[in-house]
Amino acid sequence: MSGASHAVWDLALPQGAEPPVSVWLNGTQLVEGEDFSLDGTTIRFARPLRAQPPMGLGRKLMLAAGIGVYGDLRGDSLDVHFTVAGRQQALTDIRLTSPGADPPR
């Protein structure tokens, strides 16, 4: 599979989320209007983020047997801070998944 199939361009915030919104990608703060924009309760990124690629049956079996797995299985990680009903909320260590993929366990 190509890396493009694991691209994530947007992230939905919880219902009722409102600005101010701050986004941290792999520990680095992103700039609104430059790195991302808000479209209602959806964060739209200026560049694709890397979702964690799905792990196939072969790799799952190897891990279960205690055998190392090669390849890059990591995706980008996000921390998002926003306001709901006047109270600060945060989603931390969000592991991105490809659209339509099962979330990582």
Q: How far apart are CA 49 and CA 78, in angstroms?
A: 10
Q: Which amino acid is at 46?
A: A
Q: Binning pLDDT at 50, 70 and 90, where does residue 17 land?
A: very high
pLDDT at 21: 94
Parallel/antiparallel/unpaired status of strands 7-12 and 87-95: unpaired
Question: Residue 53's pLDDT is what?
Answer: 66
Rounded CA-CA distance 2/14 in Å is 30
Structure confidence by residue, pLDDT tens digits, 57-98: 776 776 777 776 555 566 788 899 999 999 999 999 887 766
Spatial distance between the Cα atoms of 24 and 15, rounded to a whole number of angstroms: 20
d(CA 55, CA 79): 23
Segment among 6-10, 46-50, 63-67 with least mean pLDDT: 63-67
